[in-house]
Amino acid sequence: MKKIVLIGGIGSGKSSVCEALERLGAGVVKLDDIGHEVLSFPATKAALRQAFGNAIFDDGGDVVRSRLAAAAFDSAEHTQLLNSITHPAIMDECFRRVDMLGEAHDIVVVEVTSGEMTREAFSWADAVVAVSAPEEVRLARACARGGQSESDVRARMAQQPSDEQRASIADYVIDNGGSVQQMDHAVQTVWSALAR
């Protein structure tokens, strides 16, 4: 089994690329999904309460993701604090799912949205694929999904590595600034290289 990391900034179209890879036969693990699950773990909630206060919780004691995002993405230090709290639990669950999917798939793709974006951080992977798109395209996509204002999206973009930084650690780059057909062609090209 080959383990592939897929990275890209907010609104770059990572999910669309993952869907295309899944159609080609890859197993897919999305760290965002695991990250949402981890927010319900008692130990994670306690650490988040200590780090960011009660304002990120609703009346029932659940984390409100939009409030957490506003608190965590207002500075690089807060983003790093969030990652230090959630990353270990997320990665434990990630590797469990990769192993499970590896029983049925020759290629397993792990979509990574945050955390340390260095080659060393992905030393467990066989390859890194970066998804890029122009900033205005990314902004429009992220705002269209709803739930976030333009200023919220811009704040998150400012805390994320640039497309150039992601490309510098990638083995392959998929330009997802064009049509769906262009993306599908780029994904097929990368898939052919990965499947060798």
Tokens of 73: 């993405």
For 2-194, CATH number?
3.40.50.300
pLDDT at 117 over 90: no
45 is in an annotated binding site: no
Nearest to 116 by CA among 176, 151, 165, 67: 165
pLDDT value of residue 161: 87
Q: Is 149 exposed, middle or buried (0-12, 13-18, 19+ CB in 10 A)?
A: exposed
12 is in an annotated binding site: yes
Reduced to 3 states (helix: H, G, I; strand: E, B; else coil), residue 177 is: coil
pLDDT at 20 over 90: yes
Beta bridge partners of 175: 132
177 is in an annotated binding site: no
pLDDT at 183 over 80: yes
Model confidence over 48-80: pLDDT tens digits?
999 999 999 999 999 999 999 999 988 989 988
Model confidence over 119-167: pLDDT tens digits?
888 999 999 999 999 999 999 999 988 778 899 899 889 888 888 999 9
What's the pTM value of the predicted model, to 2 decimals? Answer: 0.81
178 is in an annotated binding site: no
pLDDT value of residue 68: 96
Tokens of 141: 């996509």
